Structure formats: C-alpha cells, structure tokens
Amino acid sequence: MDIRPATAADVPAITAIYKPEVETGFATFELEPPGEAEMARRMRAITDAGYPYVVAEIDGVVAGYAYASAYRTRPAYRYTVENSIYVAKGMQGKRVGTALMGRLISDCSERGFRLMVAVIGDSANFGSITLHRRCGFHFCGVIHSVGFKLGRWLDSVIMELPLGQGETTPPEDGQLPLPLRLGV
Ligand SMILES: CC(C)(COP(=O)(O)OP(=O)(O)OC[C@H]1O[C@@H](n2cnc3c(N)ncnc32)[C@H](O)[C@@H]1OP(=O)(O)O)[C@@H](O)C(=O)NCCC(=O)NCCS
C-alpha cells in the first residue's frame, strides 16, 4: 500500500468513493453527492490553504483518501484541524484507514498543527469510532440528533488527538497559513 499526496488525477476515484457514503451512509451529513468538478474545487481549496490531502493506492487503484481542513474558520482556531477519511466499500476493514490516518496525523504534526478533531457521524459508526480510538483519539462527547438524513436523526461523536507538543507549549506564530473559508 502506498500512501501519497492526492493529485487532480485522483479526483474521479475519490468522487466515486464518496458517492455511496453520501447516498446511503451516515458518516457525512451531505445529501447530494458532489460531482468531480466540485470535488476538485474542494481538493484545491484544502491543499492551497496548506492542509494535507492523501490517498492510499493499492496496485494502482485508489482504495481510500483522507484530508485535514480547518476545524472552524475564526482565526484563533488556526492550530486545530478536522479530519475526513473514506475507504472504498470493498476495501474497508483491511487497515487502509489506519494507514491513511497515520499519515494524516504525521503530516499535520509536521505542519505545526496542535490538535486534530474528529466529528464522527453517527453514534452507530463503530468502524470510525474504533479507528479513531486505535489511532490515539480520546472521546470528547456526543451532540445528539444534530442532523437528519434518510428519515432518521443523527448524532455527531466528537473525538480529539493532540498533535506534536499539543497544548504544552505556545505555537510558533507565522508557521501556518490562516485557515481559509473552505466551503466544505
Ligand atoms: C471508518 C473507516 C475510514 C475505517 O477504515 P478501515 O480501513 O475500514 O479501518 P481499519 O481496517 O484500518 O480498522 C481500524 C480499526 O477499526 C476496527 N474496525 C474497522 N471497521 C470496524 C467496524 N465496522 N466495526 C468495529 N470495528 C471496526 C478494526 O478492527 C481496526 O481495529 P484493530 O486495529 O483493533 O483491528 C472506513 O471503514 C470507512 O470509510 N467507513 C465509511 C465512511 C466513514 O465512516 N468515514 C469516517 C468518517 S468520520
């Protein structure tokens, strides 16, 4: 398995991996699957703002992707990222997610970010909650029934992972680009 930075050539595969999660899953609160142009626009916005976007490639096929983006856009949040991670349906449970998350954590730590937040949909997403726990995240809390999709109320499970020196030292100002409004 090769974990590498995503490129524009990966957009069709990424769009195809995300589509069923939007249409039938509860990990994302989007209701309409975005097309390739929109996924390409989002990828550019994320990488242009200085956040990592990576894919897992197995035998030349993209098996999953992960990226970090601004947790919230007000500038005091600028050392905190939120993660997003999706593995293709047929490739789940084979440690692809673990490999992607490991790379995302190290890329974000190297860039000087101090906290990674996971906003997990939904409370029943045992795969994602287990993945985050195995990767060192701690449970923060649950926002109950914060979303409604496919006829049911959805929770957000919040988990966090300190990066680098975490909160033990002040950040080095100027090390990071200010998060941009990403529209994602
Ligand atoms: C959640 C997801 C990213 C995990 O990636 P993955 O490649 O399937 O996970 P891994 O194989 O690396 O497994 C990581 C750990 O979680 C456990 N796990 C994975 N799927 C599980 C499930 N459905 N139920 C319980 N545990 C599960 C694995 O056993 C493993 O634990 P271990 O190290 O003790 O063996 C992937 O399943 C996925 O894309 N799901 C749909 C979209 C989604 O929920 N994305 C997350 C948005 S917050």
Contact 62, 10 (CB under 8 A): yes
Mutate to test the pocket of ligand 1, among 1, 3, 57, 87 (most ligand atoms within 8 A of CB): 87
95 in contact with ligand 1, CB cutoff 6 A: yes
**Predicted confidence band at 44 (pLDDT cuts at 50, 70, 90)?**
very high
pLDDT at residue 183 in the model: 43
| Angstrom distance (rounded) from CA 155 to CA 171 | 32
pLDDT at 182: 44
Half-sphere exposure of 33 toward its Cβ, with a 13 Å CA cutoff? 15
What's the pTM value of the predicted model, to 2 decimals? 0.95
What value does the mean pLDDT of the chain take?
94
Q: What share of the chain is helix, strand, coil (3-state, %, to 5)?
A: 35, 30, 35
- Identify the structural domains of the chain with CATH numbers, from first to last: 2-162 (3.40.630.30)
Smallest Cα–Cα separation from 76: which of 114, 125, 21?
114
State the closest ligand 1 atom to the C-alpha of 28, by its place in the atom list counted from 1: 47
Q: In the prediction, which pLDDT does 176 show?
A: 65
Q: Is the CB of 96 under 6 A from ligand 1?
A: yes
Sheet holding 152-162, edge to edge: 2-5, 53-58, 61-70, 80-87, 115-121, 152-162, 138-149
Tens of pLDDT along 71-80?
Answer: 999 989 999 9
Amino acid 177: pLDDT? 59
User: Are the beta carbons of 34 and 15 closer than 8 angstroms?
Assistant: yes
d(Cα 58, Cα 150) in Å, to the nearest integer?
32
Q: What is the pLDDT of residues 127-168, one digit of tens each?
A: 999 999 999 999 999 999 999 999 999 999 999 999 999 999
Q: Calculate how far, in angstroms, residue 178's C-alpha sits from the geometric centre of ligand 1.
A: 31
179 burial (CB, 10 Å; 0-12 / 13-18 / 19+) is buried
C-alpha to C-alpha distance for 125 and 155, rounded to whole angstroms: 10
Q: How far is CA 98 from CA 32, 92, 105, 171, in A?
A: 27, 10, 11, 27
Q: Inform me whether the pLDDT recorded for 179 exceeds 70.
A: no
For residue 123 and ligand 1, the question of a CB distance below 6 A is answered with no
User: CA–CA separation, 112 vs 123, rounded Å?
Assistant: 30
Task: List, for residues 78-88, the tens digit of each pLDDT value.
Answer: 999 999 999 99
Give how far Cα 62 sits from Cα of 96, 104, 173, Å: 10, 16, 36
Our answer on whether the CB atom of 116 is closer than 6 Å to any ligand 1 atom is: no
